[in-house]
Every structure is written in C-alpha cells, then in structure tokens.
Amino acid sequence: MGKKQPRDRGNRNGGMRPGQPTASQHPTAGRARLSSAAFATKRPEGQTSMAALVEEIQQVAAEAQVVLAVGDEPTSDAAELERAWHLYRALAKRAADHADALMMQGNRLRSERSEFDTAVVRQTEEAAALQEEREILDARAALLDRKEGELSDREQEAERRFAERRLEAGRELEAWLADQRREAAEALDTDRHAWQTRWTEAQRRLTDAQADLDQRKSDLARCERDLRSERARLDDDREDAAQLKAALKEQQGSRGERFEREVADRIGQLARQMEDDRRRITALTAGNESLSARLTEYDTALASLGGMTLEQVVERMTQLRAENARLVEENATAPRADARMLEQLQQQVMQLAADNEELVRERGELESALQRDRIAVNERQNYLEANNWLRAANSQLQQLLNEEAAKLNATAQAGREGHAFPACSVMDQEFGTPQPHVPHVPELSELVEQMQAVIRQENGLSYRQLDLRLVLAGMAMSRLHLYQGISGIGKTGLAQALATAFGSTSSVSVVPVQAGWRDPQDLMGYYNSFDRIFYESEFTKALYRAQCPAFRDRPFFIVLDEMNLSHPEQYFSGVLSALAIKNQPRLALTTAPIKNPPKLVIDGTHIAIPDNVWFIGTANHDETTVGFADKTYDRAFVLELPWQHPNLPESMATPQDALAHRGLSRAFTEAQAAYSAQAASIIDFLDNNWRRRLAEELRIGWGNRLELQIQAFTPVIVAAGGSPGEALDHLLSTRILRSVRGRYDIHADTLDTLRTDLLESLRQFDSIHEPTSTRQLLDDEIRSRGRQ
C-alpha cells in the first residue's frame, strides 16, 4: 500500500533521545501488538459474531491511541517521526486486514447461497436463520459505518498532528508524508467503495436468495400437495386392490362351497341311484338265477332232444309235425297217449320262446341302466376336474399376487438402496474414459468438401455444399436447429450424417417426439417417489451421455424427430429458457436432491447442457403437425432442404477421425475474428436500407439477437467458401421475411414492389450470389394472393 518506505539514514536506535522508550518498549504499543497478535491467531472461522466485531473495533482504537500517544511526545527527530509513521501504516494495514475479513465474509455469503439449494426440507429454520443473518449484517453495517467515521476523524486528527511535525521536520519529509497519506486515503476510499459494492451485492444476493427460497417453498408446497394427492390415489388403489382381492377370495370361496354342495348333492344322488341300481341288480340277479334255472331246464330239455339247438328243434318239430301228420294220416288209429305227449312238447317249445324274449328285453334294460351309470360317473369326474382346475387357478392367482408384491417390494428396496438414475450411473462406468480425437480442424472450406464426400460415401446421401455451409455456420450461430422440408427428403438422415462427417457415428441420438407431449416431464422423464427411481427418457440419457468424458470434447447431436407433432413451446420450454443462459445452462430434474446421484448430476437435482451439444428438430408441415412460435424461430437456425438431392459423382473419401469440439469452436472464433467486417457490412445494409421500410410497409422489425446471429453466422459462411450475399439471403428468407408467410393483410402489389426493389438491392450488395431463397419466398407469397 503506497511507495516503498526509505531506509533510516542513521542507526534506528541511535537517533533516539536518552531515556525515551522505543516503540517496542512502549507499554501501549506492547499491548497493541499483543492484541494484534491475538487477533491474528484468533481470527474467527465461519460467521463473525457481533462481539468479535466490537473487539476488532476496540483493537483498532487501541492502535490509534498508540499512534496518538507516540505523536504527542515532543520530538524533532526524523527517525522518531518515521517510527510514528510506521505505526500509522500498521493502523492502515489493520484497516486493510479488516477489509479483507469483510471480503471473506462476502465469500462466505456466496457459499451460503449455494447451501440454500439444500435447505428445502428445513425451510422454516433456514428462513429464521436468514432473517437473523440479515439483522446481524445490518448491525455490522451500522458498526462499520460508525467505525469508518471514527477512523476518518482520527485520521484527520493524526494528519493534523503529523502536519505540525512535518513542518518541523522539513519540506522534503512533508512532501513524502503527503504522498503517503494521499495514497493511504485513496486505498481506504477504494476499500470503502469496494466494501460498499460488496455490501450492495450481498444485499441483492440475499434478496435473490430470499425470493429463490420463497419460490422453493411454493414449489415444495406444490410438490407436497402433489405427493399427498398421489399418496391418496395410491391408498385408494391399494384399498381397491384389497377389496378386489377380498371379493375374489369371497367369490372363490362361495363358488367352492356351492360347487362342494353341488358335488355332495350329486354324489348323494349317485349313491342313491347306485343303491337303487344295486337293488335292481339284486332283483335282476335273482331273476337271472331263475332264468338260469329255467335255461338249465331248457338245456336239459334240449339235451333230452339230443343236444339240438332251438332252430334245429323247430326244424325238427316241423319235420315231426310233418311226420306227425303223416303218421296221423297213416295211423289214424294211434293211441291217445301219443297225442297228449305231442301237445306237451308243443307247449314247452312256446314257453321257451316266450322266456327267451323276456331275457332279451331285460338284457336291454340292464345295458341302458349301465350306460346311464357310466354317464353319471363321467359327470362326477368332470365336476371333480373342474373343482381341481378352480383350485389350481386360485393357487396360481395367489402366486401371481405374491410375485407382484415381491416385485413391488424389490423395486422399492432397489430405489432406497440403489441408484436413482440407473442408466446414467451405468454411463459413468461405460463412458468414463476420454476417447482419442483430432485437435486440429482443417480449413472450413476443406471441412465442407470433406463433409460432402464422407456423407456421400458413408450414408449414401447427397447434399449441396451450400446447404452444408449453412449447417456449419448455423452451428456457430445457435445450439437449436430446425430442418424443414417434405417427408422423406433426408432431414433426420442429415442430422445423423453430421456425426459421421465429424468422425463419430455414436455422437448422435434420435428422440422420437410424441403427439401427446405437453409437459417438460414428457421430454425429460420423471421421478417416482414411491420407487425412488428417476425414469430417464431417451432425451435425458442422450444429454447425460454427451457430457461423459468419452464424448465431452466431441460435437454431439440430439435429434428431435418430428419435433412439431406437439407444441415445442410446451414440452421444450425448459431447454429454450436454458439456452438463453450463456453461463452454464442446466435443466431441473427434481425439486429436491436425490440420494446417490450419478457423477454429472449437479447437486442431485439438475443436469447441465454442455456446450458440445446441438439440438436438431426435424419438421413436416401437414395436418398432423403444429406450427412453431415466433420465439422458437428467433432462437433457431432454420434450414429448408430442397425437394431433390443433387446428383453428385462418386468420390472416395478418407475416413474422418473424430474432430474435437474445442478445435471446431476455435475455427469458428478465428473465422469470426477474420471476417467480422463482412458481418458489419450486412448489419449496415439492413439498418440503412431496409429497417425503416420493412417496419412501415410490413410491420417487421428485429433486435439485438439478430445482430449477434449475423456476427456469428456470416464469418463462418465466408470462411467456408461462401459470400456475404449468401449469408444475407438465408437470413432474410428464414429470419426477417419469414413472418410474411400467411399474412394476407399485405397486398400483392406491395409484395411485388418489395420483391423488385429488394432483389435489385441484394444484387448490388453482392453480385456473386443470386438471392434465390428470398426470391422464392416472395414469389410463393405473391402466388398465394392470386398473382402470377
């Protein structure tokens, strides 16, 4: 602080008066040094209390008293005055140390702000502590203001005393002391202003922290309400499941009981029927025995007939009748005994025939009864099989319920003990090692030619160098790209081919957009507080993979396929807001820190958007899609792909090694520095020639964002082999005149006149490039109004 002190011209102790104590022997100085040493060794850590601040003020006052005491002693010795000045310098150093302590307090306040992020669960105590801290800081401010006033008064008094002694010591010493005093005063003023600035900044940060805390309180209250509603819904679901399970068990029990009763009844009926059948079988057996006896008699009779069968007996009887008739005719006079015997034989034959018919009938009845019994037994078997099936189904359902409960418990246990981000945690291990890449990027014009050849060879797609120059310049202008054109033209293919052209086919991820997306959670995923797992979406996993060490220094592309199937301003709003932040943009994943987060999740709640990521949205315009809002177009680089791919000749391209993102960014920066004049000429051309006319005739205007985009976009176009007119033509058609589309309040004559004047002006600005994009846009709008 100040100039280097000159050495004493004589011996330091030789110039003292006899009997005068040295500065080290002075009792007050000794106490001051002791107090200063104690202050140096006992400097408080953490938050300085009010008592410590009062003690510091008392120490500074003691040092000032030492200075005044030394200054009051009459002396004309220059060495004595120099020692007094050294004491004054010590006092100034103490003030500087106190200013450093205040700076440390400001640093601690900044660290306290970072701790507010973890204070959601303790918001009541934190709010009270913050209020108490603010009161302490207000008290400190008052004490420091008072201390500064006292120091200023004492400084003025010391300067008056030193002025009297400097007059005695000589003009040379007076001038030297004046310079030192002025430097000290300037340093003190600088420190005071710096402290005031820090204090204002601390107040502002405290205010912002309080607002942030209030916002977090409201978010926490909302989350608690959502959690309570979710818990209530879950309780309802569990109650419904319990009721359903109970109803199922009751229904199964009632069905089982009813089935058991039916089976028992049926078994009883079958038992009774079987008993009846047994009685019938007994009766039939008795009848069968009688029939058997009769059959025995019949067999005996047949045996008596010589073992002839019934047919033979009938035949024999016929023969006998015939013979009998003959004998009757021959022996009309035969005795009566032979006639009676023949009649008996005829009656026996008729009885045997009737018995045979009865046996056949009874046999048929027995066979019918046996068939009915078999049917009854089959029915009982079917009932038993159905009962067994129901029991097996009930057992299987119970097993499924137990398995689902086990899975649910296992999932909850995994969420409590495992990783909340399972896929991202795996990436920490899989992509934790940086991959080799080429730090040097060729000239941008060579890079465009190389991109065209590699895409043609590796992907089979053909793109004009004009389109590839625009894409390369768009990467320098914006992190959000919109590729538009008819379906099947190769919009997604171009986005994927860019990764191939830059030498890393794995540095791209395609995220299909769904028509029902309405909330950022649809894009990012969501945290299940019951399972304690964050269900990562493809977008979140791609964003995390892009910042892993294996991809951190490579250009990475996240493709939102069919981006306008839903409103990007709804599900993509968080990304749009984050991209507007230049310093470390990040996205919120959860409202409260998650246990055991992956390495790259910030504070357990946020994920960063690394600077090596570009978001590419492909868009069709038909009845299934929605239009982009103006704020999306204003922040994006827009590319209209032609309807047909150019017919390029086959060319052999050397496989491209992975380019470094830092090298590509360096190439963009060098181009912007080398060709900044071309960007300035475009800005001047628009401001001087067309800003007022477009505002009056078409009500079209632009702000600082467009100028910044021109400054980033135009130099890369020129460095890649294009011209300023090419850049101006693209920006006019996609950024400025885009709002003319669909505005039928603009008359066709106005557009026709504008077209003629604008094309002529663009040709004068750059005679090399023909403004085809601007002419095509205006021609389409004029035709849509019925003009050819």
pLDDT above 50: residue 656: yes
Average pLDDT, the chain: 76
Average pLDDT over residues 731-754: 88
Stretch 727-734: mean pLDDT: 93
Residue 498 pLDDT > 80, yes or no?
A: yes
578 contact partners, CB below 8 Å, separation of at least 6 = 585, 586, 587, 609
d(CA 484, CA 637) in angstroms, rounded, equals 11
Tokens of residue 493, six digits: 């293919």
Closest CA to 418 of 688, 636, 684, 598: 598
The fraction of the chain above a pLDDT of 70, given in percent, is 63
Residue 46: pLDDT over 60:
no
SS3 state of residue 616: strand
Residue 480 confidence (pLDDT) above 90: yes
Pairing relation of β-strands 613-619 and 480-484? parallel
Collapsing DSSP to helix, strand or coil, 286 comes out as: helix
pLDDT for 711 equals 95
Question: For the segment 145-163, what is each residue's pLDDT rounded down to a tens digit?
Answer: 777 777 777 767 766 776 6
Backbone dihedral region for residue 287 (phi beyond 0: left; psi -120 to 50: alpha; all else: beta): alpha
Least confident interval from 226-230, 314-318, 330-334: 330-334
Q: Is the pLDDT of residue 74 over 80?
A: no
Residue 422 pLDDT more than 70?
A: yes
Is 12 a residue whose pLDDT tops 60? Answer: no
Among 95-99, 102-106, 207-211, 556-560, which stretch is predicted with the lowest mean pLDDT?
207-211
The model's confidence at residue 416, banded by pLDDT at 50, 70 and 90, is: low
With bands split at pLDDT 50, 70 and 90, how would you rate the model's confidence at 70? Answer: low
Residue 681: Cβ-neighbour burial (10 angstroms; 0-12, 13-18, 19+): middle
Looking at the predicted structure, is the pLDDT value of residue 702 above 70? yes
Q: Which residues neighbour 397 within 8 Å (Cβ) at sequence distance 6 or greater? A: 248
SS3 assignment for 620-680? CCCCCCCCCCHHHHHHCEEEECCCCCCCCCCCCCCCCCCECHHHHHHHHHHHHHHCHHHHH
5, 96 in Cβ contact below 8 A? no
pLDDT at position 713 is 95
Identify the pLDDT of residue 678. Answer: 94
Give the pLDDT confidence of 212-252 residue by residue, as tens digits. 666 766 666 676 676 676 667 667 766 766 676 666 666 65
pLDDT-wise least confident of 56-65, 90-99, 501-510, 572-581: 56-65
In this predicted structure, the answer to whether residue 547 has a pLDDT above a threshold of 90 is yes
Percent of the chain residues topping a pLDDT of 90? 22
In the prediction, which pLDDT does 162 show? 60
Question: pLDDT band at 733, cuts 50/70/90?
Answer: very high
CA distance 476 to 149: 54
**pLDDT at site 655:** 57
Q: Between 136 and 576, name the one with better pLDDT.
A: 576
What pLDDT does 27 receive? Answer: 41
- Please indicate whether residue 576 or residue 305 has the higher confidence score (pLDDT): 576
**Which residue has better confidence, 595 or 686?**
686
Q: Is the pLDDT of residue 572 over 90?
A: yes
Residue 23 is predicted with a pLDDT of: 40
- Tell me, what's the pLDDT at 489? 82
- Taking the C-alpha atoms of residue 394 and residue 254, their distance in angstroms, rounded to an integer, is 13
pLDDT in tens, 519-534: 999 999 988 877 788 8
Q: Decide if pLDDT at 501 tops 50.
A: yes
Least confident interval from 285-289, 453-457, 618-622, 761-765: 285-289
pLDDT band at 117 (very low <50, low <70, confident <90, very high): low
Token pair of 175 as six digits: 């001038």
Diameter over CA atoms, the chain = 208
Q: What backbone torsions phi and psi does residue 375 show, to the nearest 5 degrees? A: -65, -45
Identify the band that residue 517 occupies on the pLDDT scale cut at 50, 70 and 90: very high
644 or 429, higher pLDDT: 429
Residue 295 pLDDT > 70, yes or no? no
Q: What is the number of other CB atoms lying within 10 angstroms of the CB of residue 577?
A: 11
**Look-up of token digits 């003292």:** 16
Q: How confident is the model at residue 75 (pLDDT cuts 50, 70, 90)?
A: very low
Euclidean distance between CA atoms 503 and 506, whole angstroms = 9
What is the Cα Rg of the chain in Å?
Answer: 54
The residue ranking higher by pLDDT, 35 or 662, is 662
- Report the pLDDT value the prediction gives residue 668, as an integer from 0 to 100: 94
More confident residue, 49 or 635: 635
